[in-house]
Amino acid sequence: MREHAYRTTTTVSLDLPLTQARWSVVAEASDIVTYSDHRDASFGLAYGVLIKELRLLARSVFVVDGSDVIRHVQIVPDVTSLPNFDAVLRAVREAM
């Protein structure tokens, strides 16, 4: 890992921005950048994670390196399941 590597955690959901802001406060997650895909689901469509029938985004993780190259993708098969965080952290370390 590089000593001065920059990384950010971003979350995208179909929630309204107000709901996301509330979540950030409750979860004490002020260092997480949130984006709302509520209006047109463009992120969900572009990344193939939109569940149209439920109007939800599949729980997924994309690790993107400093050159904007996607280095790891994990789409969880069920929205009630969690990603494999060990694999995600390994991918983040490798992308830095």
Indicate the number of domains in the chain.
1
- Provide the domain limits for residue 25: 9-95
Domain assignment present for 38: yes
DSSP state of 60: E
Give the model confidence (pLDDT) of 6-46 as tens digits. 678 899 999 999 999 999 999 999 889 999 999 999 999 99
In a domain, 1, yes or no: no
Cβ(74)–Cβ(48) below 8 Å: no
Residues 65-75: pLDDT tens digits? 888 999 999 99
pLDDT score of 1 more than 70: no
**H-only helix segments in the chain:** 17-26, 42-47, 85-95
Quote the pLDDT of residue 6.
62
Query: Which CATH number do you get for residue 23?
Result: 3.40.30.10
* Number of CB atoms found within 10 A of residue 77's CB: 7
Tell me 40's DSSP state.
T
CA 88, CA 62: separation in Å to the nearest integer?
9
